[in-house]
Structure 1
Amino acid sequence: MIDPLQASSKLAGAGLEAQSMRLRVVSENIANAQSTGKTAGADPYARKTVTFRTELDRALGAASVKVKEIGVDRAPFQVEYAPGNPAADENGYVKLPNVNMLIEMADMREANRSYEANLQMMKQTRSMISGLIDLLRAT
């Protein structure tokens, strides 16, 4: 049987890893929100998405989270009339990324809160282990 404190640390670690990846993807989306194609008529940056999956950790006997895949959002690109832009097509239209800053900020906030919750779980586990060691020393 696995130690419950070790199990909680391992599960929180998996959550931290998953949310960290999500934060990286959201940051990349925000950084490329205005990235157009390099040549006339070329597609711009396409928003990335993160999909999670539940995975049974047999050693713990509990479900854990893992990143299933990093995909590409298939939403249509925005189009803007900018004939002077090097990425403009023959009609003067430039394709802009399908990144919606409002959605990205909401995703970032949710991922950050989930990350903090997992981090708090790790801190509580560490505190419990420290308390247990103190109790063992006292005996």
Structure 2
Amino acid sequence: MSMLTALKISSSAMTAQMVRMNTTASNLANMDVVGTTSEEAYRAKKPIFKTVMETHTNSNFEASVKVNGIHVSDRANTKRYDPQNPAANDDGYVFMSNVNSIEEMVDMTNASRSYQTNVEVMNATKKMMMATLQLGK
């Protein structure tokens, strides 16, 4: 594997983790959104990642991480009795989002750590490339 391939893998992984952080931030921002029905209430979203391997001639390959889609949670939305809420249905209930703030914070921490690890991989690869260039002097 060439050093440029390592940089490409880390770069694609960082992009994927940014999508993960953005969906987590969106989930947290919409955590208190209610709806009149369960279908109208906000549902948590999670990115789905895919590893892509491309083989080239001379046993060279390129690998990357791609976002294959965004999964919308099928966990049930809870309903709460709140007849004063403008979004309440005829029975006085509103449907809460199915976002779990603890899960989202753990997911955000994991995405942040993964992103930082890939930054460190890129820095180490850059140092190796610079050291290789210094060998010629």
SS of match in other structure, 2:66: strand
Question: 2:51 is paired with a residue of what secondary structure?
Answer: strand
How far apart, CA to CA, are the structure 1 residues paired with 2:133 and 2:63? Answer: 28
Q: Which residue of 1 aligns with 2:117?
A: 117
How many residues matched?
133
**Residue type at the aligned position of 2:122:** M
Counterpart-to-counterpart distance in 2, 1:57 and 1:95 = 45
Task: Report the alpha carbon displacement of residue 62 of structure 1 after superposing the two structures with TM.
Answer: 4.9
Quote the residue 1:20 is aligned against. 18
Q: Which moved more, 1:94-103 or 1:41-50?
A: 41-50
Pick the aligned partner of 1:55 from 52, 55, 62: 52
Residue of structure 2 aligned with 1:31, choices 23, 29, 32: 29
SS where residue 71 of structure 1 aligns? strand
Task: Give the aligned partner of residue 77 of structure 2.
Answer: 77
Among residues 7, 11, 21, which one is paired with 2:5 in the alignment?
7
Q: How does 1:92-107 map to 2 (within 5 A)?
A: 92-107=92-107
Separation in 1 of the partners of 2:64 and 2:7? 11
Q: Structure 1 unaligned runs (5+)? A: none
Backbone CA RMSD of aligned residues = 1.6
Tell me which stretches of 4 or more aligned residues in structure 1 moved more than 3 Å.
none
Percent sequence identity over aligned pairs: 33
**Structure 2 partner of 1:86:** 86
Shift of 1:64: 2.6
Equivalent pair of 2:5/2:63 in contact (CA under 8 Å): no
Compute the TM-score of the two structures, normalised by the length of structure 2: 0.89
AA aligned opposite 1:47? A
Q: What SS class does the counterpart of residue 41 from structure 2 fall into?
A: coil
Displacement of 1:81: 1.0
1:3-62 superposed Cα distances (whole Å, 9 cap, x missing partner): 61101101101110111110110010001000123xx44722111111111211334525
